[in-house]
Amino acid sequence: MADPKTTRPAEDADADPAGAGRPDDAAWLAVLIPPLRDLVRAARDDRLLDRVGKEARADVPAHLVLALTRIGDFQPIRLGDLADQMEVGRTTLSRQVTDLVAAGLVRRIPDPQDARAATLELTPKGARTLRRIWDAWARLLGNATADWDSADRDRIPQLLDDLARALTAMADGR
């Protein structure tokens, strides 16, 4: 696929420095959006999450894996803040956290800034489990991309990071 930056007519570059509304944007988006949507869907597919859990030897139901990983990402974190980060309801997340606490993977700690509240963090067992989950993801992704050109494999993390940062900046109003 041609790089949209190099196929943009020179007069468009002067008239529209941000690149919005380029004639090739519709075609580029038509090619980009379906695989991006499919990537997100595949990464959140319970069947894949179950496979990751089995390969990690982690006894964590698929519907709890995302909550476990996000607690690991943001710990210590309050339940309400985690619900906002995950864009899920507090009631749903509260049930998931209760299950993770019961499994010994997460603990509630009194919030030092508000005695009425608690923060969530991984237990040592939760941290070990999460490490095994990430190792299983690495193996699966390695297998999925094993026959890719090494230059393509090397570029993907940076390109995805650049896209995520640009979208986050837009969501933040920057």
The DSSP-derived string for 39-65 is HHHHHT-HHHHHHHHHHTT----HHHH
Decide if 104 is inside a domain.
yes
Model pLDDT for residues 52-97, shown as the tens digit of each residue: 888 999 888 888 888 999 999 999 999 999 999 888 999 999 999 9
Give the chain's length. Answer: 174
- CATH assignment of the domain containing 115: 1.10.10.10
Model pLDDT for residues 100-141, shown as the tens digit of each residue: 999 999 999 998 888 888 999 999 999 999 999 999 999 999
Q: How many domains does the chain have?
A: 1
Decide if 75 is inside a domain.
yes
Decide if 106 is inside a domain.
yes
CA–CA gap between residue 174 and residue 158 (Å, rounded): 20
pTM of the shown model: 0.72
Range of the domain at 82: 47-129
Cβ distance 130 to 68 under 8 Å? yes
